[in-house]
Amino acid sequence: MKVLFVSDTYYPHLNGVYYFVRRLAVLLQEKGHQVMVLVPSENVHYSKEKIDGIDVYRIPSLPLLIYPRIRVPIPVFLQSKIKHLLIALKPDVIHLQDHFSLAEAVVSANKCFNIPIIGTNHFMPENITALLPFSYWNKQLENWMWSGFSKVFNKLALVTTPTEMGVELIRNKLEVKVVAISNGIDLDHFSQVGYTGQIRNKYSLPNKPTLLYVGRLDPEKHLEEVIYAVASALQKIDFCFVVVGKGVDKKSLENLTIELGIQKHVIFTGFVPDEDLPCFYRLSNCFIIASIAELQSISTMQAMASGLPVIAAKAGALTELVNDGINGFLFNPGDIDTIAGKIINIVGIDDQCWEMGNESVKQIGKHNIHHTVQLFEEVYEKMMATAI
């Protein structure tokens, strides 16, 4: 079958949506399907390129003024461009990754073709409002964004989201069926086995107990809470905190470690290529995440597959991955003392770390990426059959 993914954000912008589409698209193509991706360009020109072996079509766009990393398709002749593209590509099914301007234009253009469209919701308003310099109008802005979401996704044949928490979040906003399908993870790629010495040398990582975070360094991730807790825990045990990723908060977080006098214990690696990432999990003792806006969290799943216990905020869908006291600990957002205590309890106690890490491996098995691919294949086939 021919599958067209549509997203308003994609490579080189590295985020959960890109990684979800890339994993799914590559594996679908390996199974003999033809996969294409439609996204905004990085400039005002139309283009086609190969990324990860997948054909990526880019629609001319402009940067969003309040957040330049997000690009918005240029509306002039947009409908015409999309119609010509759909005629040329002849997809059997269209899979939206959001409800923003490009997705809305595709839904509108599809009225002439009646191609079955499904959507996967990765959206939580906090991912956007947390980046804004003001908060007074956040609630009104969130309501407006959810209204736009309902307007577009109510026109689809089916909506998926990674977790049951995600289903509950959007079910009352939609009239169409909503089902939970995990983002999935490559369990073979992230495991407890592998040599880490070369990575320690490459990134100058000390050979001591390690607490790890992997992800964007943006406001909704609340990494400042973790750094305050790390400063407190360092008074009781010796360890290092490794922060993998980039984002708008990187400089302020680095300054905070200097202010607290713990800069020698906190390492900011910046962007890490995919081939190096599994080793960071393998050399670590525990993973931590304080984000309040997670519909699933790929990095947490990677950590679990690598045999790590997880310290996580009791927020979003993290409670579906972390069983408090079993494969890690949960904390109330903002509770610095509790975070520090949990760091000491896991990072400072080898037996606790090992036992909880083994539980993580057991629990992550149901999120095998190959199962996810199979479920989406079944969804696509059902939508195609219904459309005939």
Residue 189 is assigned to a structural domain of this protein? no
What is the distance between the alpha carbons of residues 158 and 179, in angstroms, rounded to a whole number?
8
- Quick: pLDDT tens for 50-60: 999 999 999 99
| pLDDT mean over 136-146 | 74
Q: How many domains is the chain partitioned into structurally?
A: 2
Whether residues 249 and 234 fall in one domain: yes
Please report the pLDDT score of residue 135 as a whole number: 62
Residue 13 pLDDT class (50, 70, 90 cuts):
confident
Whether residues 178 and 247 fall in one domain: no
Whether residues 169 and 253 fall in one domain: no
- Quick: pLDDT tens for 236-273: 999 999 999 999 899 999 999 999 999 999 999 999 99
Residue 190 is assigned to a structural domain of this protein? no
Residue 192 is assigned to a structural domain of this protein? no
Whether residues 229 and 328 fall in one domain: yes
Largest CA distance in the chain: 66
Please report the pLDDT score of residue 367 as a whole number: 95
Please report the pLDDT score of residue 363 as a whole number: 95
Whether residues 139 and 56 fall in one domain: yes
Please report the pLDDT score of residue 351 as a whole number: 82
Whether residues 214 and 180 fall in one domain: no
CATH of the domain at 177: 3.40.50.2000
What is the CB neighbour count within 10 angstroms for residue 159?
24
Whether residues 77 and 24 fall in one domain: yes
Whether residues 124 and 245 fall in one domain: no
What domain range includes position 305?
A: 197-367
The residue type of 288 is: I
- Phi, psi (deg, nearest 5) at residue 101: -60, -40
Residue 191 is assigned to a structural domain of this protein? no
What is the CB neighbour count within 10 angstroms for residue 94?
28
Please report the pLDDT score of residue 138 as a whole number: 67
Q: 355 pLDDT exceeds 60?
A: yes
Whether residues 257 and 342 fall in one domain: yes
Q: Are 332 and 311 in contact (CB under 8 A)?
A: no
Q: Which residue has the higher pLDDT, 232 or 138?
A: 232
Q: 128 pLDDT exceeds 70?
A: no
Whose tokens are 């202010």? That residue is 259
- Quick: pLDDT tens for 28-50: 999 999 999 999 998 888 999 99
Whether residues 165 and 248 fall in one domain: no
**Mean per-residue pLDDT over the chain, rounded:** 91
Please report the pLDDT score of residue 293 as a whole number: 86
